[in-house]
Amino acid sequence: MTMQQRMEPSPAAVLIAVAVLALVLTVAFGPLGFVIGLALFALMFVGSKKHTADQIVPTRTRSRLRRLSTAGRVAIAGEAHHQDAIAEVARHSPTLDDAVPVTAVLVPEPAGRHDLAAVRVDLLRGDGSAVTVGYLRGDLAAEYQPLLLELAERGEVGSCPARVLGGRRPYTVHLHLGAPRLLLLDHESLGTALTLPAEHQVAVVGEPSHQYVLHRVVNGRTPVHVIAELRDSRIAKGSHIGERTLEVLLEGESIGQLGYATGLRYCDTAQEWRTRTGRVLCEAVITNEGTRGLQANLLLPR
């Protein structure tokens, strides 16, 4: 039994009972009883349908979850119709004063009643079931749905981190979801490891000396979405030589460093993340900048 199930008669049982009552009234009072019984039956039928619609109905996610790019922020639509479901997922957090971290799954609905390009947004509960909390907005859904259908054909469903906002109702949900062009790039390289929140792009300096590593990683394809590791380092040259910074590694090999000011900004953040998770991993996108060669941009917290 899930947390949403309640010990109460099912709608079908109620309708059967009312139908029997209508039959009794018809036998006892003739046509008038039939009319009264029919009215009761209609009222109970409408009430049971409304009650069923208002219930939180969890579904199990049988598809394999595929982590998607988190390099973006997307608001969803329709949360007003799913406040109970959002509250059910978010209430396990000790406080709702700040954003509550949750996991969202994106389910394409090409046969939707109102929109053939619809993408449903579900939130995962602790027991593995999912509850619907809204939909991607129409213009976004049309861009994301074809890519999500590619995953569905492989028995996979896209997932991404999300945040529930609102210490009291109404709740809103924001997805940490990359742009469509990044959505399906190199899924396998992302894995399931915890990465720093991907909120904006930060350039890496020193790539010209490490182009061979970048070329091996991209293998002729750009842009490529990968996971990079950050390690404590010292600036090797320039006016800030010897100062703290962070070295950037791909597949265990250096591709450059963060600049002085940027490194100083993120050194403490990296240390805190390393204490929590053991390694400092972040998302990165490698692009081909023509005569400038391959460029790596990290996706880091603001």
Q: What is the pLDDT of residue 138?
A: 83
What is the reported pLDDT for 14? 54
Only one residue has tokens 């049309």, namely 142
Per-residue pLDDT of the chain (302 residues; tens, 9 = 90+): 233 333 344 555 555 665 666 666 666 666 666 666 666 666 665 554 444 333 444 444 456 777 787 777 889 999 889 988 888 887 755 444 567 888 899 999 887 666 788 999 999 887 778 899 999 988 888 888 988 998 888 888 888 888 888 766 688 999 988 777 666 554 455 556 678 887 788 999 888 888 988 898 888 877 787 889 999 999 888 888 899 999 999 888 899 999 999 999 999 999 999 998 888 998 888 888 888 889 889 988 87
Question: What is the structure's pLDDT at 229?
Answer: 92
pTM of the shown model: 0.53
DSSP string of 20-81?
Answer: HHHHHHHHHHTHHHHHHHHHHHHHHHHHHHHHHHHS---EE--SEEEE----SEEE-B-GGG
Contacts of 198 (CB under 8 A, 6+ apart): 69, 70, 71, 72, 176, 178, 282, 283, 299, 300
Write out the DSSP string of 238-298: STTTT-EEEEEEETTEEEEE--HHHHHHHHHHHHHHHHHHSS-EEEEEEEE-GGG-EEEEE
Q: pLDDT value at position 35?
A: 63
Count of beta carbons in the 10 Å neighbourhood of residue 86: 27
First to last CA, the chain: 42
pLDDT of residue 72: 76
